């Protein structure tokens, strides 16, 4: 075959390839998650439905474990470029001078509930009891602190145990290792069905909160703004898909939360909560939530008292997506 024939053959092959195949190199990023939480659902959707690749990004979504503190540490070490983390951990590190910034919210509303044994009726009855959290410095710990401040109680009035994930805490309650736990869905749905009492539901208490944020560093954003924009494009597209496609989103929740098929009803209830209550079309980090965290931290950290809430966020990328009409078009 002559050179001309070879070129004609290659051209024909290329023309026959599917249009969806791109020969452009994808920009690689790593997104770290500190916990298996439905708050991460839109990121999981963006990965599974190919939205990151659609926007030229090869995203490696990795589970780090250990809650927001470990995710933040991995981000600062440069092991990952983005993290999903509770706002409390981000602000605490920021007050220490860490180069962290919240660029979008995964969830601005508190999804945690404090569930206790059925014989515990009031917060005062927690005294002397054992309460489980994921780990110190995590969102569950921050929520417990907020509840104690709300009830004017002290943490030394009962024992706080680091147990691990919500499913592990539920198992620990069943084995009577702990008397109560700060749980997220779908575990708290399961706990309710098994007779445990909801002593507090953060979402119903009119307390602003930063449940989970998309976080990066300012230094990374300065050199990679276009890439960060494409990551957020995939993320907000994940939110839109999650809201509009219940069946497939429930499948993804079951898969990523490692739930058995017979727990589908809990995944469906979780989807309903997140699609209709927690996930926002334009997910700006809540300034009210930042103020709540700063007020809580100010009791022990003087720097929090005079800190500017705007210093912890950079909403400019999300604002550019809103102004361009990109987000609106996802719902048209």
pLDDT tens column, 126-147: 999 999 998 887 778 888 988 8
Mean pLDDT in residue range 313-330:
98
**Could you read off the pLDDT of 102-126 as tens digits, one per residue?**
999 999 988 888 999 999 999 999 9
- Exposure string of 16-33, with b = 16+ CB inside 10 Å and e = fewer, is eeeeeeeeeeebebbbbb
Strands 113-116 and 197-201, bridge-based pairing = antiparallel
CA 233 – CA 227 distance, rounded (Å): 10
In 3-state terms, what secondary structure has residue 306?
coil
- pLDDT at site 16: 44
Dihedrals φ, ψ of 222, to 5°?
-60, -35
pTM, whole model, 2 decimals? 0.81
Give the residue range(s) of CATH 3.40.190.10 domains in the chain.
26-110+209-329, 113-204
**Could you read off the pLDDT of 233-278 as tens digits, one per residue?**
999 999 999 999 999 999 999 999 888 888 899 899 899 999 998 9
- 8-state DSSP, 313: B
First-to-last alpha carbon distance for the chain, in angstroms, is: 52
User: At which residue do the structure tokens 């575990």 appear?
Assistant: 187
Lowest mean pLDDT among 11-20, 100-109, 186-195, 266-275: 11-20
Residues forming a β-bridge with 328: none
Compute the C-alpha angle 304/305/308, nearest 5°.
70
Question: Which of 2.130.10.10, 3.40.190.10, 3.40.50.2300, 3.40.50.2030 is the CATH number of 26-110+209-329?
Answer: 3.40.190.10
Question: Which of 3.40.190.10, 3.40.630.30, 3.80.10.10, 3.40.50.620 is the CATH number of 113-204?
Answer: 3.40.190.10
């Amino acid at each position: 075959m002559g050179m001309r024939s070879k070129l004609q053959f290659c051209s024909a092959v290329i023309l026959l390839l599917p249009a969806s195949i791109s020969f452009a190199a994808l920009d690689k990023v790593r997104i770290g998650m500190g916990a298996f939480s439905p708050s991460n659902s839109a990121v999981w959707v963006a990965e599974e439905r190919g939205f990151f690749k659609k926007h030229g990004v090869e995203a490696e979504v990795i589970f780090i474990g250990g809650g927001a503190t470990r995710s933040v540490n991995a981000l600062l070490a440069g092991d990952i470029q983005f993290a999903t983390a509770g706002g409390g951990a981000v602000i605490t590190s920021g007050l220490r001078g860490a180069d962290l910034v919240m660029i979008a919210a995964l969830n601005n509303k508190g999804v945690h509930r404090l569930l206790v044994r059925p014989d515990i009726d009031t917060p005062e009855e927690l005294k002397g009891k054992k309460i489980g959290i994921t780990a110190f410095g995590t969102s569950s710990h921050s929520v417990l602190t907020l509840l104690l401040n709300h009830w004017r109680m002290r943490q030394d009035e009962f024992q706080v145990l680091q147990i691990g994930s919500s499913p592990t805490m539920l198992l620990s309650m069943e084995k009577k290792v702990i008397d109560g736990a700060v749980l997220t869905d779908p575990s708290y749905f399961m706990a309710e069905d098994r007779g445990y009492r909801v002593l507090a539901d953060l979402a119903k208490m009119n307390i602003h909160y930063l449940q989970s944020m998309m976080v990066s560093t300012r230094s990374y954003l300065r050199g990679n703004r276009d890439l960060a924009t494409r990551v957020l494009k995939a993320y907000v597209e994940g939110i839109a898909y999650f809201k509009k496609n219940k069946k497939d989103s429930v499948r993804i929740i079951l898969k990523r939360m490692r739930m058995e098929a017979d727990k589908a009803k809990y995944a469906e209830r979780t989807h309903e909560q997140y699609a209709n209550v927690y996930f926002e079309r334009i997910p700006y980090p809540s300034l009210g939530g930042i103020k709540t965290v700063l007020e809580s931290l100010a009791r022990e950290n003087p720097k929090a008292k005079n800190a500017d809430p705007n210093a912890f966020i950079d909403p400019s990328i999300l604002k550019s997506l809103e102004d361009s009409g990109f987000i609106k078009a996802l719902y048209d």
